[in-house]
Every structure is written in structure tokens, then in C-alpha cells.
A = this chain, B = another copy of it.
Amino acid sequence: MIPYGWIQATKGIIVSDVPIEFPLRWAREAGAIALRSFNHAVAQRKPDHTWVTEADVTIERLLVSRITEHFPTHGIIGEEQTRRTIDHEFLWAIDPLDGTAIFLAGLPTWGVSIGLLRHGQPYLGVIYLPLLNDCYWSVPGSGAFWNAQLIHVAAPRPCTSDDWISTPSTAHRRYTIDFIGKTRSIGATIGAFCYTARGSAIGALINTFAIWDVAAGLAILQAAGGVAAELSGTPFDVRTILDGSTFTTPVLLGAPEYLAVLHKNIHLRTPAL
């Protein structure tokens, strides 16, 4: 049922140190586990008040085992507690199920996020949305892909009412947004990255994330020609959250020209609700 097109598309790509086929296959394995419990999942609260399901834990265990088997010296950091030699040259940052809240709500755009950082910078990424069977991935120097198709962020031009940006589900409380186009909140940080990287959304606003939410997305976004910057305009430096801490300052994603537009049109609401 799941087409292999996007794995075949990798055949011509030479990656010496970390073959992209590995995380692509792991993502698909992980997605199959998540799909089995979609619409049946039982959730528990974590100390940070967010939700965890058995699928999150099972998938993180699977991914850690696959990474350890193939890359025993690499570091790993995962949403569900994994912390292994995170000061290594290569650090895998994994979110077994990004969008657990929408997974529980029965919405579709949750997925598996597998990012690899090298010397503290996004290096390659795989994001798989199992229900849609959509895979977004990137390889250093070879660009970003949506399934077997090369993708790029939206080419800059004046915004119209047809353009849309991805916003967080708390945007109504935190921001005033004077954007001529549409705002859509589809439910997970990976969605913000994927739909921006493929040029469907012209950009995105994200907030409250950890390294495992953004490592794969940043690699894909950058390979698709996009950048990430704080809402204030300061470049976003992923190294500040390599320790697993939460970044609460709002961050914009997109082509640099669109970031300038969004920077002018999105403001923190004072006071936030």
C-alpha cells in the first residue's frame, strides 16, 4: 500500500556518512506503528502537561534501537526522555509522534520527525505523515523532497488573499496578525515546516518547541531555500536548545523576503491571554 517512490528517488544521491535510506525506512516503520493506534490511542499526561501515548514510547524505542544499531557512536535526543552523548559530532533529534494532541483529536497531519544535526547544525531531516503517506526529506547538498519530488519554498511576490501562513493553535491568545492572506493552524510543528518547505504556505509562525520538534524540519526547510528567524528579526540559533530545553520565543519560517513581510504584520499581543 505504501509506495516506494520516495525511496527509489534517493538512489542517485550519494551520501557518504549517513545514507538517507536509513531514516526513510525507520520513519515508515514508525508510521505503521502510529497508524495502528490512530483513533484508539489512550493518552497520559507528562509532567510538562502535554500528552503521551503508548505509540510515542514504542516508536521512540524503535528509533533509538535502529540508530544505535547503525550508528553506535552517534548522540540521540528524543521527546520521550532519550538523552545519549548529546555532545557528539552527530546528534539525532527525534520526535516519535509530533502532534500527539491532534493525533488524539483525530486530525490527520501528525507524524514522525527524524532530524540529524552535525556540529550542532541541521544536517538532514525526514518527516513522515503516515495518514497522508507523505514523506518530506532532505539530504545535504541535494535539496529537499516531498515524496519523489524536489521542493522549494514559495517564490517571493506580493501577497494576496489566497496566500496562507501556518500559525500555532494558541495564536489567537498570543498575537495580532494583520496579514492579508489566510492563517491556518493544522496542528503540529512538522506541518508548519513541511507546507512551508514545499511552497504551499508562504511561511509559518511557530512557538514553544524543543529540538526534536524542529531538527528535521529545519534541515528540510533550509534545503528548500527557507530560513528561520525570531519574530524580532534575530536569526534563530538551534544550538541554544540542543540540551532539550524549550524555546518559547516565536520563530518565523519561510523565504527571507516573506519573513520580512511577516515580521511587519505579526505582533505579540500585550498582555497575552
**What residues make up the interface of A, taking CB atoms closer than 8 Å to B?**
1, 101-102, 105-109, 131-132, 162, 164, 167, 169-173, 176-180, 182-187, 195, 198, 200-201, 273
* Complex contact A182–B169 (CB within 8 A): yes
- How far apart are A151's CB and chain B's nearest CB, in angstroms? 11
* Complex contact B198–A182 (CB within 8 A): no
CB contact under 8 A between A106 and B198, given known A131-B132, A132-B131, A169-B164: yes
Roughly how many angstroms separate A105 CA and B186 CA in the complex, as a whole number? 13
* Complex contact B200–A162 (CB within 8 A): no
CB contact under 8 A between A200 and B132, given known A183-B185, A184-B186, A185-B184: no
* Complex contact B186–A170 (CB within 8 A): no
Q: In terms of DSSP, what is the predominant structure of the interface of chain A? A: loop
- How far apart are A45's CB and chain B's nearest CB, in angstroms? 10
- How far apart are A215's CB and chain B's nearest CB, in angstroms? 23
Give the oligomeric copy count. Answer: 2
Roughly how many angstroms separate A182 CA and B170 CA in the complex, as a whole number? 5
* Complex contact B195–A105 (CB within 8 A): yes
Roughly how many angstroms separate A105 CA and B195 CA in the complex, as a whole number? 9
Roughly how many angstroms separate A107 CA and B180 CA in the complex, as a whole number? 20
Contacts of A186 in B (CB 8 A): 107, 184-187
* Complex contact A273–B172 (CB within 8 A): no
- How far apart are A42's CB and chain B's nearest CB, in angstroms? 15
Residue of B nearest to A182 (CB): B169
Residue of B nearest to A269 (CB): B176
Sample of 11 more A-B contacts, CB < 8 Å, known A108-B132, A172-B179, A183-B185: A1-B1, A105-B200, A105-B201, A108-B108, A108-B109, A169-B182, A172-B183, A173-B179, A182-B185, A185-B185, A186-B187
29 contacts between A and B (CB under 8 A): A101-B162, A101-B182, A105-B195, A105-B200, A105-B201, A106-B200, A107-B109, A107-B184, A107-B186, A108-B108, A108-B109, A108-B131, A131-B132, A164-B169, A170-B182, A170-B183, A171-B172, A172-B172, A172-B177, A172-B178, A172-B179, A173-B177, A178-B273, A180-B273, A182-B185, A183-B185, A185-B185, A186-B186, A186-B187
Roughly how many angstroms separate A264 CA and B58 CA in the complex, as a whole number? 42
Contacts of A198 in B (CB 8 A): 106
